[in-house]
Structure 1
Amino acid sequence: MEVIAIQKSALDGMKNELKALLELTENATQKYTSIFNEEQWLDNQEVCLMMNITKRTLQTYKDKGLLPYSRLNRKNYYKLSDVQALLEVGQPYNTAENGFTDE
């Protein structure tokens, strides 16, 4: 067994930093929990599977503003209600009105 000795002031400093980190984590969790509890959110893969589209098509929908999304920690999330609304009106690819054509 290895024993490491450190000064009490260093140990107290580490405790304080850990407490601050825990508080930041709890605050962030509380901040985003209410957002995620209000509605079900889907990631890219779930949306692609649900809509039966490719990631590239999903990117096009985002670029054209057809599907709103939120970004959290470099990952995109979509409200289930927004995806369902887009599915109800029909997938908007290959229509002249929104710029999607086979030509």
Structure 2
Amino acid sequence: MEVIAIQKSTLDGMKNELKALLEMTENAVRKYTPIFKEEKWLDNQEVCLMMDITKRTLQTYKDKGLLPYSKLNRKNYYKRSDVLSLLEAGHPYNTNDNEFIDE
């Protein structure tokens, strides 16, 4: 077993930094937990399957601002409630009013 000796002031500094890091983590969890508990988030594949659309159509919805999304680590996520709202409104690509072409 290896024993390493450090000064008490260095140990106290490390403790303080760890406490600050823990506090920052707890604050982030406290801030974002309600968002994820209230809402189910879906990825691209889940949305395409749920709406029975292609990835290209999904991209068009995003480009036209019809379906809001959030990006996390280069991956898109959609609120389930937003997808359901779009489904209830009907598939926008089936109408010519908003420049979509019938598929």
Above 0.5 in TM-score? yes
User: Under a length normalisation based on structure 2, what TM-score does the superposition of the two structures give?
Assistant: 0.77
- Tell me the TM-score normalized by structure 1: 0.77
How far 1:10 moved relative to its partner? 1.8
Q: What corresponds to 2:85 in structure 1?
A: 85
Q: Deviations over 1:47-91 (max 9, x none)?
A: 222223333322221110111223455543322121112112222
Correspondence list, 1:26-65, <5 A: 26-65=26-65
Separation in 2, partners of 1:72, 1:63: 18
Identical residues among aligned pairs (%)? 82
* Structure 2, unaligned runs of 5 or more: none
Moved over 3 A (4+): 70-76
> Aligned residue for 1:101?
101
User: Over aligned residue pairs, what C-alpha RMSD do you find?
Assistant: 2.3
Corresponding pairs, count: 102
User: Residue 14 and residue 54 in structure 1: after superposition, are their counterparts in 2 closer, same or farther (change >3 A)?
Assistant: farther
